[in-house]
Amino acid sequence: MSLRLLVTGATGQVGWQLHRTLAPLGEVIPSTRTEVDLADPEATAKLVRDLVPDAVVNAAAYTNVEKAESEPELAHAINADAPGRIAEVLARTGGLLIHYSTDYVFDGTKSGPYDESDPAGPLNVYGQTKLAGEQKIAASGCAHIILRTSWIYDTRGKNFLRTVLRLAREREELRMVGDQHGAPTWARAIAEATAQIVARCAQRRDRSSWGYGGIFHMTAAGQTTWASFAQQILEEYESLAAWPADTGEFGSPLTAKRVVRITSDLYKTAARRPHNSVLSNEKLQATFGLHLPDWRVLLRLALQDAVR
């Protein structure tokens, strides 16, 4: 069956990759800020009403965790009101909503990985608005799958991987937070797993249901800290021995060789972040048979992809 799929946030890390991974499933309609501004939830609802997609994959979000502290209303409109309105329209048309949420819905006090039934308790505005988005979608009654993921990076866009490589060309030594634990996850792995979930839902679809629903955690396997992630980036980058000449930023040498661990209290930020936001992926595996590889494996694949 060929699906009509609306992807919001098509210029973002996950949205960009979705445009490619969803292509085999039917018609992909990529939407950017030019087509619709999610800060205007009514305009967003109108876009969905006009296009009548089989499914919306909402990869657009207000993702600047720091800035959200000073723009809570805008972040709420984009992360909660707009997804809520998309969900209300889909509840009427029978469409499916795939939506992304975050590990930052948790307060980080649990000692092990969080599962989907653990109570949320966001520490910052971004996490609060993403949690509110989850709640509005659930309340709408539309068929939905909410994928909570974490620490997203890619070889394009604004993210930790590219920041580390830039700083590592400018400095001798990097200082990174070593007391926050999570799972860095490559945007492409998220987009590929999402495409498999959409395909599975489409197979199960009948007049009244898409077969699956609810919240699922979806991150790379394993866990690390920002400091260890940065160290691994430096090592993986150096280990890619034969650089082709035309690899642009991914071909130039690094000056920094090591990462110094610091504690969160030495790195002052506007937004508080959880010390532990590792998510258990057991439900995703049990339901869809999906298991994302270890974060180190995905990091290597992402870097190899950038230089080959």
Q: Which residues are known catalytic residues?
A: 126
CA–CA dist 212, 127 (Å, integer): 25
Binding site for ligand NAP (CB under 6 A): 9, 11-15, 32-33, 37-39, 59-63, 78, 100, 102-103, 130, 149-152, 157, 187
Amino acid letter, 150:
S
Contact 118, 126 (CB under 8 A): no
Helix segments in 148-288, DSSP class H: 160-170, 187-204, 226-239, 282-288
Token pair of 123, please?
A: 């520490």
Neighbouring C-alpha atoms within 13 Å toward the C-beta of 238: 12
Q: Which is nearer to ligand NAP, 154 or 205 (CB)?
A: 154
Residue 131 or 174 having the CB closest to ligand NAP:
131
Of 226, 57, 22, nearest in space to 146 by CA: 57
Distance CA 159, CA 184 (A): 11
Minimum distance from residue 243 beta carbon to ligand NAP (Å): 26
Q: Alpha-carbon distance 278 to 180, whole Å?
A: 10
CB of 68 to ligand NAP, least distance (A): 10
Distances (CA, A) of 173 to 256, 257, 269, 300: 5, 7, 21, 22
Nearer to ligand NAP, 13 or 231 (CB): 13
What's the closest the beta carbon of residue 147 comes to ligand NAP, in angstroms? 8
Rounded Cα distance, 229 and 207, in Å:
46
Residue whose CB is less far from ligand NAP, 37 or 94: 37
Q: Are 75 and 69 in contact (CB under 8 A)?
A: no
Q: At its nearest, how many Å lie between ligand NAP and the CB of residue 83?
A: 9
Please, which residue, 149 or 224, has the CB nearer to ligand NAP?
149
Least distance from ligand NAP to the Cβ atom of residue 221, Å = 16
Burial of 5 (0-12, 13-18, 19+ CB in 10 A): buried
Cβ of residue 119: shortest distance to ligand NAP, in angstroms? Answer: 19
Q: How far is the CB of 112 from ligand NAP (least distance, A)?
A: 19
Report the residue number whose CB is nearest to ligand NAP. Answer: 12
Residue 108 or 205: which CB sits closer to ligand NAP? 108
CA pseudo-torsion sign 134, 98, 146, 306 = negative
Cβ-based nearer residue to ligand NAP, 178 or 274? 274
Of the candidates 177, 12, 190, the one whose C-alpha atom is nearest the C-alpha of residue 98 is 190
The values of phi and psi at residue 221, to 5°, are -75, 160
